[in-house]
Structure 1
Amino acid sequence: MKTVAIVTDSTAYLPNEMLSEYDISMIPLNVVFGNESFLEEKEIGVDDFFEKLRSENEFPKTSQPSIGSFIETYERLSKTHEEIITITLSSGISGTFQSAYSAGGMVEGADVHVFDSEISCMVQGFYVLEAARMAQEGYSSDRILERLNEMKSEGMHAYFLVNDLSNLHRGGRLNAAQLVVGNLLQIKPVLTFVDKQIVPYEKIRTRKKALNKILSLFDESAKDGAPIKATVIYANNKEEALKLKSELEEKYSNVEIILSYFGPVIATHLGEGSLGLGWYRT
């Protein structure tokens, strides 16, 4: 019997080949258009999501996985594993962590540990990949969780540039007055995670200045030559993301970069054209 199984939710946005290579189980969150609910990454991909977003009059909603979906996965994995580690997006922006935790107490046959990444997207994916690699190498759950907490304490960074304020407004994160003023002043908020919540890091006029601010923050971590794993994340603006990835790789020989994307759940709140940069020092 294998020792440790790794589970995550869909907002890590790990490609299928990585899920297969590292034997990671993925549980999807939901995107709801009117009366229709779709499992992200399984029933609706990011391209279909943006296409549907343009044709729908009603703004979509998102919801966490059911406790039952976690129980089903845990019961399946308990037949071949002694322990299960589940890594979720931040508990400050979703009830997914609580669902995973509650389900863990309802399953016999395997000990379930739930780790709150306190972040999301491919930066959450970095935790998942590290845990899966260690699981494949035979490390115990205690050592894997210790390593994940080391990564967290050493600093996992994620900054997002929002192109269109309307999604933040419709999702309840900006009031109408803030929306009007922000659009008039061409405000491009730089967002980050603080205490498990997505918060404005700085409100900057023009997209170029906002991106330069993120790049200056990245440079503070990368300029001393220490090895860094990073991700450039995009929302239906892949060419811009590829250009940024190429520029960073040319400037920093110590940085390994994965290109990723904002899937349907996160893109619902950030909107099309958003751009993210996340990293940690290895």
Structure 2
Amino acid sequence: MIRILTDSASDLTATDSARPGVYTVPLSVTFADGTGGLDGVELTADEFYAHLKVDKVPPRTSQPSPQSFMTIFEDAKENGDQVIAILISSNLSGTYQCARLAAESCDFEDVFFVDSRTASQGEGILIREALRLRDEEHLPAHAIVAELEQLKQRIRILAVVDSLKHLHKGGRLPAAVALVGSALGVKPVLSVVDGQIKLADTARGRPGAFVAMFKNIEKMGGVDPRYGYALLYSDEKGVLAPLHHYMHENLHMTGGRVARLGPAIASHAGPGCAGLVFVTKE
């Protein structure tokens, strides 16, 4: 069997997580008061957002422990399974390197690593494609990975956020960029391309930020409908209304996934986030 291994930063929906052979290793989140826990295991999204509302200091995230990977690798080795590990961008977390070291530590060689160069449902797109290639195309692991390496180059994330404070404090965004994106009355539009978080645009107010986001979708090459899309939100699902309308009325696309950011990613995105994950056209 080919197992698909990922991390909790992938923000997989419950349906995707429950598919056969999918394993998720949790990152951990710690608040300023020392509370927190393993993302999705000891700390639910509801608990996280309740704490986030009252805590003025952004929480910290930590990569999974090597043992959490080793447990899965050792079990796969014992059962003669292969593993494809699709993990958050190595530019954003040490999770990818931790997994490689864990495989070396337990002498597990039948594993293929994919540095997704993305996060959240960007990883999710790769995971769902890996499952399709495994279950419908019946491709071997090495061929699946070759396809994923090509696909990951076309995955884009665009997001409107209330503030860049969390990303800056977490070390994911340079101070100069955070300063530009935090000007009074300005709402930043962020992008994740090739593993890098960048300030894609700025606009006055949230409505203007959504217009800027829509323009950036086209600048990036548009949405390839073959892979669907995902809408991301942090604490309030209602912030997705302009994105829903644009996707349905302007692009005539329906059936996109809606996913709530889990604690690991929301620790950096902060409250009020509305995002779109898609694959660009070829």
TM-score range, shorter chain: 0.7 to 0.9
CA distance in 1, matches of 2:258, 2:56: 31
Match of 2:14 among 16, 19, 29: 16
Work out whether 1:95 is the aligned partner of 2:107.
Answer: no
CA distance in 2, matches of 1:214, 1:109: 43
Q: Count matched residues.
A: 277
Q: Which has the higher strand share?
A: 1
Q: 1:182 to 1:278 in 2, by over 3 A?
A: closer
Q: 1:275 to 1:238 in 2, by over 3 A?
A: same
TM-score, normalised to structure 1, is 0.87
Deviation at 1:48, TM superposition (A): 1.2
Work out whether 1:236 is the aligned partner of 2:251.
Answer: no
Matches within 5 A, 1:173-188: 173=173, 175=175, 183-188=182-187
Equivalent residue, structure 2, for 1:280: 279
1:147 is aligned with what amino acid?
A: E
1:97 is aligned with what amino acid?
A: Y
User: Which is further off, 270-279 or 104-113?
Assistant: 104-113
Equivalent residue, structure 2, for 1:127: 126
Cα distance per residue 1:14-47 (max 9 Å; x no partner):
1222221243100010001233341111111222
CA distance in 1, matches of 2:97, 2:86: 12
CA distance in 1, matches of 2:195, 2:206: 25
The answer as to whether partners of 1:75 and 1:107 remain within 8 angstroms in 2 is: yes
Q: 1:84 to 1:177 in 2, by over 3 A?
A: closer
Q: Which runs of 5+ in 2 are unaligned?
A: none
1:259 is aligned with what amino acid?
A: V
The answer as to whether partners of 1:228 and 1:256 remain within 8 angstroms in 2 is: no
Matches within 5 A, 1:1-282: 2=1, 4-33=2-31, 34-56=33-55, 58-108=57-107, 111-137=110-136, 138-153=138-153, 155-172=154-171, 173=173, 175=175, 183-219=182-218, 221-222=221-222, 227-242=226-241, 244-254=243-253, 256-281=255-280
Give the fraction of aligned pairs with identical amino acids, expressed as a percent: 29
TM-score, normalised to structure 2, is 0.87
C-alpha RMSD over aligned residues: 2.6
CA distance in 2, matches of 1:187, 1:242: 20
Deviation at 1:228, TM superposition (A): 4.7
Q: Which secondary structure state, in structure 1, belongs to the residue aligned with residue 92 of structure 2?
A: coil
CA distance in 2, matches of 1:176, 1:202: 14
Q: Which runs of 5+ in 1 are unaligned?
A: none
Deviation at 1:169, TM superposition (A): 4.2
Deviation at 1:127, TM superposition (A): 0.3
The answer as to whether partners of 2:182 and 2:188 remain within 8 angstroms in 1 is: no
Q: 1:169 to 1:84 in 2, by over 3 A?
A: closer
Deviation at 1:277, TM superposition (A): 0.8
Q: 1:47 to 1:242 in 2, by over 3 A?
A: farther
Deviation at 1:129, TM superposition (A): 1.2
CA distance in 2, matches of 1:182, 1:254: 30
Deviation at 1:252, TM superposition (A): 3.0
Deviation at 1:244, TM superposition (A): 2.5
